[in-house]
Amino acid sequence: MHHVETLYSEGSAALGVERAERKPKPKRPLTPLILLGLSAALFILTAWVELRLVDSPVAARWIGLPGFGLSTLLALSGCVAAVANLWRGKTVVPGALGALLNSMLGLLGLAMTAIGAFTTLMATVGFARGRQLRRFGRVLLPRITAGAGWVDTTLELEGAAHIPTGVGQQWRENGRTEHASVASFARLSLDLMALGAPPELLTSANQDALDEIRHTEACFALAHALDGKVESPGPFPEAKRAHTLSFVRSVALAQLAALSLVDGALHEGVSARVIAKLARRAQHPRIIGTLKQIAADEGRHAAHGWDVVEWCLEQGGVAVAHALLGAVRALPQRMSSSLPEPALSGAWEPWGIHGEALEREEYAAARADLVQRVGKLIQSSSGLRDAARATRPLTQNQSLS
């Protein structure tokens, strides 16, 4: 019995020595690599599907937003995992090379997060005339409440009784978008200041905001003169929750350039074109005067939008150039505003409410001009020609040449 116990003790000791000598294999955490790989794969897949369905109106909402959004979250998770591993001393390969690889994975995750965030933004941008305030791509508008705060109740229009029902309400809807544009230009001023823009850009943004205040008052005054309702924009708390730019300066410049290209240069330009045509088709002198003033202001706002685009391109270089080209590629072939059914045929154009054909015609012209101007702008910027060549063609019929 003693002999057995001795053998057992000796065997246990030998096994203990063998286990002590057998060092456990170090764990090589692959989480950052796996997350970044999944992020890149999902990003490429989403981009491929989006390109295949470029003409589908639901592609951005049901494919672009979840696809690019999830890709961004995976990249951010990979970045955090890489930094955590670096902090704990866990690396995929041993030694200094492992620490360097972890650092590179963290930076790559941060870069992919920025790219994904920007692409998600572009995938969710809604299209509407004029510069608008958005959150996750959704246009934010104020509620309408009873009150004369924004209404000139002394304005009267001769023959208003013969104007179709609903025209006044549509002018009120136009006033809502003008009111929201005041907040949009205020947001633009903050973004420009954060990026260190020159005083002339800040001056333009603030002057444009004052223009939008006058437009809002004019629209609500006309609406009251047309249907007699005393209504004004109500509190607009959503304005505080609008989009903000990235903390990464190069990404913020790319975001601001793309938004100014779409909302400023294009949408303000379309608005100026449409309203100028309406001024020639309208019949009432007061409506004609209001339309002419708004058209002139919107044309100036579009020019200011181009000024912001050019400044961002000068500051951000190739990164902004690629963002602009991507924004142009993402533009839909047609623009469609939410209009009442009776207005679609153009029957309300004598009273300053555009129809579907006029909007489609002016959007196509403005879009074509924008494509050409972006091409020339990038071609004329030193060091950016390779970016232009690498992303041609922009559309089926137009390219940077």
What confidence tens digit (pLDDT) does each residue in 187-200 have?
Answer: 999 999 999 999 99
pLDDT at 37: 77
User: Are the CB atoms for 398 and 371 separated by under 8 Å?
Assistant: yes
Q: What does residue 144 show for φ and ψ, rounded to 5 degrees? A: -100, 130
Task: Tell me the C-alpha distance between 322 and 335, whole Å.
Answer: 23
Task: Tell me the C-alpha distance between 119 and 115, whole Å.
Answer: 6
User: Are the CB atoms for 223 and 175 separated by under 8 Å?
Assistant: yes
User: Residue 373's pLDDT band (boundaries 50, 70, 90)?
Assistant: very high
Task: Tell me the C-alpha distance between 365 and 335, whole Å.
Answer: 12
Question: pLDDT tens digits for 23-51?
Answer: 444 455 667 778 777 877 877 777 667 55
Rounded to the nearest integer, the mean pLDDT of the chain is: 78
What type of residue sits at position 161? Answer: A
| 193-208 average pLDDT score | 97
pLDDT at 42: 76
Closest CA to 119 of 53, 199, 63, 185: 63
pLDDT at 24: 47
User: Are the CB atoms for 330 and 124 separated by under 8 Å?
Assistant: no
147-151, 215-219, 239-243: the lowest-pLDDT one = 239-243
Question: pLDDT tens digits for 79-121?
Answer: 677 767 766 666 655 656 656 665 665 565 555 455 544 554 5
Q: Given a cut of 80, is residue 361 above it in pLDDT?
A: yes
Task: Tell me the C-alpha distance between 203 and 209, whole Å.
Answer: 10
Q: Given a cut of 50, is residue 285 above it in pLDDT?
A: yes
124-128, 137-141, 186-190, 228-232: the lowest-pLDDT one = 124-128
Most distant pair of Cα atoms in the chain: their distance: 121
Where along the chain do its domains lie? Answer: 25-124, 149-390
Task: Tell me the C-alpha distance between 26 and 226, whole Å.
Answer: 79
pLDDT at 7: 45
CATH number for the domain running over 149-390: 1.20.1260
Q: Given a cut of 80, is residue 313 above it in pLDDT?
A: yes
Q: Given a cut of 80, is residue 54 above it in pLDDT?
A: no
Task: Tell me the C-alpha distance between 291 and 281, whole Å.
Answer: 10
pLDDT at 337: 76
| 121-150 average pLDDT score | 74
Residues contacting 5, CB < 8 A, separation 6+: none
Task: Tell me the C-alpha distance between 106 and 265, whole Å.
Answer: 36
Task: Tell me the C-alpha distance between 297 and 207, whole Å.
Answer: 10
How many other CB atoms are found less than 10 A from the CB of residue 17? 10
pLDDT at 391: 41
Task: Tell me the C-alpha distance between 100 and 116, whole Å.
Answer: 24
Tokens (6 digits) for 374: 């972006």
Question: pLDDT tens digits for 66-81?
Answer: 766 677 677 667 767 7
Query: Greater confidence, 201 or 317?
Result: 201
| 346-370 average pLDDT score | 94
